[in-house]
């Protein structure tokens, strides 16, 4: 047994025939104008389904995308994230450090350009000999420091000390 | 298309920022590089005697002639061996080798005022004779009076240059 909705839909679609059609129209005489309205509406919808072709679709799309990008940028601007975000702080810190190092090494002299002979520095901090037989004494003069080794055996005269 | 353009602009911005930072780092590295240059060690072996034949001191020690005579008591100082090497701070490096006499640099550390703390090891044959540590200025020679040889004495000189 079909419900009213099923029979009504089939009637609108023209799917009822024979005894079933006559029985439905006899039972629901007042629905005749409903069908004519439905047909009018259907024809109108089919007519409006026609979409106009754009003359320059690429330009249209680019305009829409630009508008979307502007909208996104406008949303980001009011926030503090753009200025205080971690990546920006990190890059900023690195940049400042680099500039600082560059300025430091550029403007702070690190070379001693004085004559090294004018500033003789040779200070013996510690000495340790192999055994008690050998002694090392340090002679600190103003412009000459000597470690004097005593107790060494004399080298053989035939030993070649050239390279 | 617009999205592609926007993405391209962001990429260009990031690339520009990256190259700016890279350029600053490069500048810093270039400026810093000379300060971290390797040190050079120079060493020589002198034979001190009273021989009549005149001998010329190495150029580095030209100003030390009178002081050598005063300190060691010999009139003649002949160069027998001379070496100059680049020194790595972390590695024990042979500096001078003449006959059985050898000098090694055991450590080299930069010190304030453009000086160096240098560790030296004096070896004769296979025997370690002396180990010493000294603070030296650039180009300031440290003298070691070594063993006697023939009619005179062996003197070893070590200097560190930047």
Q: Domain boundaries in chain A?
A: 4-47, 58-106, 116-155
CB contact under 8 A, A147 and B132: yes
E strand map for A95-144: 122-129, 135-140
pLDDT beyond 90 at A136: yes
Nearest-by-CA chain A residue for B65: A144
Q: Is the CB of B51 inside 8 Å of chain A's CB atoms?
A: no
pLDDT beyond 60 at B33: no
Which ranges constitute the DSSP H helices of B33-88? Answer: 65-72
End-to-end CA distance of chain A: 121
Q: Is the CB of B16 inside 8 Å of chain A's CB atoms?
A: no
Nearest-by-CA chain A residue for B138: A116
What is the DSSP-derived secondary structure letter of residue A68? H
Q: Write down the pLDDT at residue A58.
A: 84
H or E stretch covering B111:
strand B101-111
pTM over 0.80: no
Q: Which residues in chain B have their CB less than 8 angstroms from residue A155's CB? A: 99-101, 147-149, 154
CA-based nearest distance B149→chain A, Å: 5
pLDDT tens, position by position, A37-65: 888 888 888 876 666 677 787 888 888 99
Q: Write down the pLDDT at residue B35.
A: 47
What is the DSSP-derived secondary structure letter of residue A108? S
The single residue listed with the structure tokens 């962001």 is B10
pLDDT tens, position by position, A98-109: 999 999 988 876
Q: What is the mean pLDDT of chain B?
A: 86
CA-based nearest distance B34→chain A, Å: 10
| Per-residue CA distances from A24 to A8, A27, A69 (Å) | 8, 5, 58
Angle value at C-alpha A44, between A41 and A48, nearest 5 degrees: 140
Q: Write down the pLDDT at residue B105.
A: 95
- The C-alpha atoms of residue A68 and residue A74 are separated, in whole angstroms, by 10
Q: Judging by beta carbons within 10 Å of its beta carbon (0-12, 13-18, 19+), is residue A93 exposed, middle or buried?
A: exposed
């Amino acid at each position: 047994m079909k419900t009213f909705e099923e029979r009504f839909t089939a009637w609108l679609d023209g799917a009822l025939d024979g005894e079933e059609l006559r029985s439905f129209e006899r039972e629901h005489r007042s629905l005749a104008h409903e069908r004519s309205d439905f047909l009018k509406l259907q024809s109108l919808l089919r007519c409006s389904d026609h979409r106009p072709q754009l003359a320059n679709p690429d330009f249209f799309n680019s305009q829409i995308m630009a508008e979307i990008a502007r909208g996104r940028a406008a949303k980001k601007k009011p926030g503090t994230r753009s200025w205080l975000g971690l990546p920006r702080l990190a890059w900023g810190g690195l940049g400042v450090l680099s500039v600082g190092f560059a300025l430091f090494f550029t403007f702070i002299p690190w070379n001693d350009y004085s004559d090294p002979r004018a500033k003789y520095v040779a200070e013996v901090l510690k000495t340790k000999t192999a055994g008690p037989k050998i002694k090392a004494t340090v002679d600190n003069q103003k412009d000459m420091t000597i470690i004097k080794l005593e107790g060494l055996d004399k080298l053989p005269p035939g030993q070649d000390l050239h390279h | 298309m617009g999205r592609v353009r926007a993405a391209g602009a962001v990429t260009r911005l990031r690339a520009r920022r990256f190259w700016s930072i890279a350029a600053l780092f490069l500048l810093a590295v270039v400026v810093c590089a000379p300060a971290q240059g390797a040190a050079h060690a120079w060493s020589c072996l002198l034979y001190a005697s009273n021989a009549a034949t005149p001998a010329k001191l190495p150029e580095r020690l030209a100003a030390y002639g009178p002081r050598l005579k005063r300190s060691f008591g010999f009139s003649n100082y002949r160069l027998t061996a001379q070496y100059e090497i680049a020194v790595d701070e972390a590695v024990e490096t042979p500096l001078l080798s003449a006959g059985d006499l050898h000098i090694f640099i055991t450590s080299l550390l930069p010190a304030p005022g453009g000086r160096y703390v240098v560790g030296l090891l004096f070896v004769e044959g296979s025997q370690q004779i002396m180990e010493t540590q000294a603070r030296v200025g650039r180009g300031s020679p440290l003298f070691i009076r070594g063993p006697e040889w023939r009619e005179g004495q062996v003197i070893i000189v070590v200097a560190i240059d930047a």
